[in-house]
Amino acid sequence: MDLYSGHINRLIDELSGLPGIGSKSAQRLAFHLVNLPQDKVKRLVKVIMDAKENVRYCKECFTLTDSEICPVCANAKRDHSTIMVVENTRDLAAYEKTGKYEGIYHVLHGAISPMLGIGPGDIKLKELIARLEGDVSEVIIATNSSLEGETTAMYIGKLIKPTGIKVSRIASGVPVGGDLEYIDEVTLLRALEGRVEM
């Protein structure tokens, strides 16, 4: 498309590569950005760079955090023997919002997907297994109810079962294919409370 300047086109290209941004939104955002005052654009760029440079994985649960250990793992009041396995930091945030879960987490950063060529070695799975050497009484698998999430849950269940550690799967009250972050807190709590041992 040569309707716009090369710079605008490049900006639209970059923006449309972001998740959830279609070409129309990308155009709207691009024009919005070039019309912003210089200092606002500078601030936005700086915030993005700061986040990129300072956010890292928690050494224990692998969620994204500003410090070596995230606030959940650093909290001695949490039940460190119960680990909830989630696909990403957004899912962790969804459960944290309920304010009712007292255990800690493990963030996989993805799910097994043979279709997309994502195998067990591509997510934080061996890191989870390493954590089981500690004092763990239950692993709650809270991956999404998508095909990938279910495949991952089954795979983890099979890995953990022989260790004798209790392993459970959140109830299927979570809509199939539903992203955990879009599900309301009541549904999340029901799924957690109704978890079944694998």
Binding site for Zn ion (CB under 5 A): 58, 60-61, 70, 73
CB of 91 to Zn ion, least distance (A): 14
Separation CA 67–CA 83 (nearest Å): 20
β-strands 56-57, 64-65: how paired?
antiparallel
Whole-number minimum distance, CB 61 to Zn ion, in Å? 3
Nearest to Zn ion of 70, 156 (CB atom): 70
> Least Å distance between CB 50 and Zn ion?
21
Q: Which residues touch 43 (CB under 8 Å, ≥6 apart)?
A: none
Choose between 26 and 104: whose C-beta lies nearer to Zn ion. 104
CB 72 within 8 A of CB 96: yes
In 37-157, which ranges are E strands?
56-57, 64-65, 79-86, 103-107, 138-141
CB nearer Zn ion, residue 11 or residue 73 = 73
Q: How far is the CB of 55 from Zn ion (least distance, A)?
A: 13
Give 9 or 96: the residue with its C-beta nearer to Zn ion: 96
What is the strand order of the sheet 196-197 is part of? 103-107, 79-86, 138-141, 166-169, 196-197
Question: CA–CA separation, 33 vs 27, rounded Å?
Answer: 10
Q: How many angstroms separate the CA atoms of 26 and 30, rounded?
A: 6
Residue among 89 and 144 whose Cβ is closer to Zn ion = 89
Smallest gap from Cβ 66 to Zn ion, in A, equals 12
Residues 8 and 131: their CA atoms lie apart, in Å, by 48
Helix, strand, coil percentages in the chain from 3-state DSSP, rounded to 5: 45, 15, 40
- Taking the least distance from each CB to Zn ion, the nearer of 73 and 112 is 73
Q: Residue 65 CB, nearest distance to Zn ion (Å)?
A: 7
